[in-house]
């Protein structure tokens, strides 16, 4: 086989394989949360598995309806609580709550938790469990 044929064969083979180090790839087994689109507040991504390679996925883009935007901390589309260009008071900037923390006074649940309106605590979304070792 000539060197030109060998190089051509390598190039053709590389075009049909999945590069696991590609930043556009994702792991559907570990990347189960939605991710914000840094270029569009109304868009977000989810990791979808390739049909022939279920342990390797690709980022699929989705859009929030109407004038809503995606909020990572609640993993849902939401509306702005303040009109654009409104300045918040210093006390309103960071009111965060973690898993099982109170969200009774408007605290923002973080770490993928959501505020349960009945218990007024930050809990895992329905159908999920906390991985406390992480």
Q: Mean pLDDT across the chain, nearest whole number?
A: 74
Q: Is residue 14 part of a domain?
A: no
Q: Report yes or no on 1 lying in a domain.
A: no
Strands 57-63 and 69-71: unpaired
- Per-residue pLDDT at 77: 93
- The H-assigned helical ranges of the chain are 3-15
Residues of the chain with pLDDT > 90, as a percent, come to: 15
- Structurally, how many domains does the chain consist of? 2
Query: Six-digit token pair at 88?
Result: 């918040």
Residue 109 lies in a domain: yes
- State the average pLDDT over residues 1-25: 43
Question: Per the domain annotation, does 28 fall within a domain?
Answer: yes
33 and 66 both lie in a single domain: yes
> Which tops the pLDDT comparison, 7 or 52?
52
Q: Is residue 111 part of a domain?
A: yes
Whether 119 has a pLDDT exceeding 80, the answer reads: yes
Question: Which structural domain, as residue segments, surrounds residue 114?
Answer: 94-127
53-81 tens-digit pLDDT:
888 888 889 999 988 999 988 999 998 76
Average pLDDT over residues 93-119: 81
Q: Is 123 inside a domain boundary?
A: yes
Q: Tell me which of 86 and 5 has the higher pLDDT.
A: 86
CA distance linking residue 123 with residue 48, whole number of Å: 25
How many Cα atoms occupy the beta-carbon half-sphere of 17 within 13 Å?
A: 9
Residue 4 placed within a domain: no
With bands split at pLDDT 50, 70 and 90, how would you rate the model's confidence at 133?
low
**Would 106 be classed as within a structural domain?**
yes
């Amino acid at each position: 086989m000539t060197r030109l044929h060998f190089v051509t064969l390598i190039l053709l083979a590389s075009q049909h394989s999945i590069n696991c180090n590609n930043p556009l790839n994702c792991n559907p087994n570990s990347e189960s949360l939605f991710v914000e689109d840094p270029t569009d507040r109304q868009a977000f991504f989810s990791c979808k598995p390739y049909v022939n390679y279920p342990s390797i996925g690709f980022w699929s883009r989705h859009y929030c309806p109407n004038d809503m935007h995606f909020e990572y901390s609640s993993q849902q589309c939401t509306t702005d609580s303040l009109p654009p260009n409104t300045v918040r008071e210093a006390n309103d900037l960071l009111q965060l709550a973690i898993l099982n923390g109170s969200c009774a006074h408007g605290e923002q649940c973080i770490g993928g938790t959501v505020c349960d309106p009945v218990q007024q605590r930050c809990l895992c979304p329905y159908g999920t469990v906390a991985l406390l070792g992480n």
